Amino acid sequence: MSDYALLYILFAPFLGAIALIFVSNRELMLVRGIAAGSAFVSLLSSLYLFYAYDYVKGGFQFVQKFEWSHQLGISLHLGVDGIGTPLVLASSILLFAGIFVSWHIKDRTKEFYIWLLILAAATIGVFMSLDLFFLYFFYEMSVIPMYLLLGMWGSHTKKYNEMTDPEGLKLRDSVGFIYNFGSNSKEYAAMKLVLFLSAFAVAALMGILLIYKYAGLNTFDILVLREHANLMHIPVLGTTLDKIIWLLIFFGFASIAPLWPLHSWSPVGHAAAPAATSMLHAGVLMKLGHFSIIRVAFEILPETTRELMPIAAVLCMFSIVYGGFVAYYAKDTKYVIGYSSSSHMGYVFLGMAALDYISLTGAVMYMFAHAMATGMLFAMAGWVYDQTHTRDIPSLGGLANRMPFISGCFVIGCMASIGVPGTINFIAEVMIIVGSWEKYPFQVIVAVVGIVLTLAYLFKMMRGIFYGPMSPNYSHAHDAVSAVDRLPLLIMITVSIGFFFFPMHLYNVVRSGVDPLIAKITRVVPLADAGAGQRLEVRGDGGVPLADFPVPITASPVSGGQP
């Protein structure tokens, strides 16, 4: 098992999807069984992966390499480092939970599970690709299932246009309204999502092709490119090529993250999507953006990253504040959670932008933590919608009487999302804030304001749905009582709380991936045993190739390298 763990994780959902093609929709339990079974194989393997990852050794482990096309220099090169490992785990947890969350889907169940499995498998594929071609391949592959999942099993946001803010003014997606023109159908949401993501994905593809061409190595292999590609100092169009490539890659992938001006597809998509899809979408699909930026831009263009990453530091503030305010005024449960997700992704950008050991580790841990928190919230919003057929917060209320279990879990979900001590989000948030304080104090203040905003809108939503007087319309709504309905929530809660009490393995794993990366980018070397906060500043001049730069790290080798 040890060598093939990645193949099991990646191909179990694909094979499950293929097996489902041959099953009739009438055999409902068999369909669900196959879907859950293949997700379970994936989950077990990724748990094994997570705990078997050797963080002392660091670097890329469990590497698999198969020649795919030697004319184009492409190979199916899979491997995970400390950054990919927790995200693979998060994806397979959310896939497994998502299968149970969508247990009651009656319409075309088989097709739903097929597309859900393909979506999750493609996402997992990105997290383990060590080849630029396959990174893009899986990335783009994850977009199309979203279209069908949103379109076929999603829901319109019918009341969106009639919703008003406290003054009675029409509330709309403010800035997003410019290119949202009041449309609120699921078809619109699905089309917008696919076109938006594809448009930015091809920008990233252009960047990838430029890397391929100017590296001149006839390969898409990230490990080869990061060691040997010399893309610096090529003048082009009044600037240098590496900057153009970096910007293409950064904005290409930041659209799915979603960074502030490129976010408008995301809440619309969340709102239209069925619960399990929203979970995967907000939980892991968004992290594809951060992850791909780390994997491509950080790895291959470290110097440029150091120069241009302040862009992210500026934009992340807008993400945090804008997302927070819209979430506060939104009246649709899924819009609130959707905007809260896009606001929280700003923290990850802040952590990345600071280019600090602590903050980047915090950012990666936050991705993991946020996957669990937002997964919970979307799962419960989906449950409430299934029971009441509305997501309009003002018309809901008092549901805690009808669904004590869900409302209890919802409180935990909100706590996790806010980052209350007791959940892994707290640790991650603190690390981001502490890590970036030195470099971006103003942004940190904004982030703290963002936390207060999170508190405000989530508590407001919680009160609106579960407390206060209950409308008699919802007296038929019932709680999640069966094991199948409770299982996904319990899994995510356990993970979220469990890692708060035992965070060291997660921290060590992430740190082993972050260390060589930050050392390469900033040339600030951590003294692993010399206690926190103490650093050795090493300033190299820009012209020295990094490969020649000796980096003394005791914990993990800088080059990462293949085992």
Residue 23, token pair as written in the block: 């099953």
Residues 117-176 that bind other proteins (CB under 8 A): 133, 136-138, 140-141, 143-144, 147-148, 151-152
Q: Is 195 one of the binding residues for other proteins (CB under 8 A)?
A: yes
* Residue nearer to other proteins on the CB measure, 23 or 493: 23
Cβ contact 352:319 at 8 Å: no
Backbone angles phi, psi at 336, to 5 degrees: -60, -50
What's the CA gap between 236 and 221, in Å, rounded? 25
Between the alpha carbon of residue 236 and those of residues 119, 231, 239, 244, 449, the distances in Å are: 38, 12, 5, 9, 41
User: What Rg do the C-alpha atoms of the chain give, in angstroms?
Assistant: 22
Work out which of 57, 104, 213, 463 binds other proteins, going by CB under 8 A.
213
Q: Is 411 one of the binding residues for other proteins (CB under 8 A)?
A: no
Residues 33-92 that bind other proteins (CB under 8 A): 67-72
Work out which of 178, 199, 314, 504 binds other proteins, going by CB under 8 A.
199
* Residue nearer to other proteins on the CB measure, 60 or 138: 138
* Residue nearer to other proteins on the CB measure, 151 or 351: 151
- Residues 6+ away with beta carbon under 8 Å from 168: none
Give ∠ CA 305-308-313 in degrees, rounded to 5. 105
Q: At what angle do helices 333-353 and 265-272 cross, to 10 degrees?
A: 140
Q: Is 209 one of the binding residues for other proteins (CB under 8 A)?
A: yes
Q: State the sign of the Cα–Cα–Cα–Cα dihedral 201, 372, 311, 319.
A: positive
DSSP bridge pairs for 551: none
Rounded to a whole number of angstroms, the minimum distance from the CB of residue 245 to other proteins is 12
* Residue nearer to other proteins on the CB measure, 122 or 312: 122
Rounded to a whole number of angstroms, the minimum distance from the CB of residue 521 to other proteins is 27
Q: Determine whether 436 is exposed, middle or buried from the number of CB atoms within 10 Å of its CB (0-12, 13-18, 19+).
A: buried
On the question of a cis peptide bond just before residue 13, with omega within 30 degrees of 0, the verdict is no
Rounded to a whole number of angstroms, the minimum distance from the CB of residue 24 to other proteins is 11
Q: Is 217 one of the binding residues for other proteins (CB under 8 A)?
A: no
Residues 314-333 that bind other proteins (CB under 8 A): none
Q: Is 187 one of the binding residues for other proteins (CB under 8 A)?
A: yes
Rounded to a whole number of angstroms, the minimum distance from the CB of residue 124 to other proteins is 14
Q: In which residue are the tokens 């999942």 written?
A: 149
Rounded to a whole number of angstroms, the minimum distance from the CB of residue 237 to other proteins is 10
Q: Is 23 one of the binding residues for other proteins (CB under 8 A)?
A: no
* Residue nearer to other proteins on the CB measure, 220 or 383: 220
Applying CB under 8 A, the residues found at the interface with other proteins are: 67-72, 108, 111, 133, 136-138, 140-141, 143-144, 147-148, 151-152, 186-187, 190-191, 194-195, 198-199, 202-203, 205-206, 209-210, 212-213
